[in-house]
Amino acid sequence: MKEKKETDIQEVINHFFYTKGYTLEQIKEDAKKRKIIYSRFTRPAKELIELAGSKKMAKQAITIVSDWAKSRNLDYAIETVFKKWLELDKLKPKEIVKKPFYEDQPMVWSQMKKKWFVINNEGEWLEFAGDEKKDIVWKIKK
């Protein structure tokens, strides 16, 4: 039996769902159960291909918007790509900021004294006397 090849529109729609974390099997299953109304995505996908000039460029645009939105905990739709079209080259994922800690206490670098300080629970700045490479733990800022 010959396998059916995806159309450009299907490929763009499926790419959108892949960025949302779906597998092809999940997309098919949810479409059968009517959790995903697949036809709702055909027009925006077709328009996106026309706007982008190719399915490859359309998929790249979806990926850029997806990375940008996920890094900010935002939801997004194919239509978000249209809304952000003029800013695509400026959309960057949010930078992950890591902060220094020593024994779960936050640390501060004093530019004036050229030293690290540990801020204890009372808010006092205590001079850090440990090893910078071994003792400082860098954690993602929440």
The count of structural domains within the chain is 2
Shared domain check, 76 and 22: yes
Shared domain check, 102 and 83: no
Residue 77 lies in a domain: yes
Shared domain check, 136 and 83: no
Q: What is the pLDDT of residue 4?
A: 61
Shared domain check, 78 and 19: yes
pLDDT digits (tens, 9 = 90+) for 70-108: 989 999 999 999 999 999 999 888 887 889 999 989 999
Residue 142 has pLDDT above 60, yes or no: no
Query: Alpha helices, DSSP H only, in 74-131?
Result: 78-83
Terminal C-alpha separation, the chain: 52
Q: What is the pLDDT of residue 97?
A: 83
Residue 3 lies in a domain: no
Instruction: Give this prediction's pTM.
Output: 0.68
Shared domain check, 33 and 71: yes
**pLDDT (mean) for 113-129:** 91
Q: What percentage of the chain's residues is helix, strand, coil (to nearest 5)? A: 45, 15, 35
Shared domain check, 66 and 32: yes
Shared domain check, 43 and 110: no
pLDDT digits (tens, 9 = 90+) for 23-54: 889 988 888 888 888 889 999 999 999 999 99
Using alpha carbons, select from 92, 137, 96 the residue that is nearest to residue 118: 137
User: Which residues form the domain of 13?
Assistant: 8-87
Residues 6+ away with beta carbon under 8 Å from 110? 116, 117
Q: On the CB side of 80, how many CA atoms lie within 13 Å of its CA? A: 17
What distance in Å separates the CA atoms of residue 51 and residue 104, rounded to the nearest whole number?
50
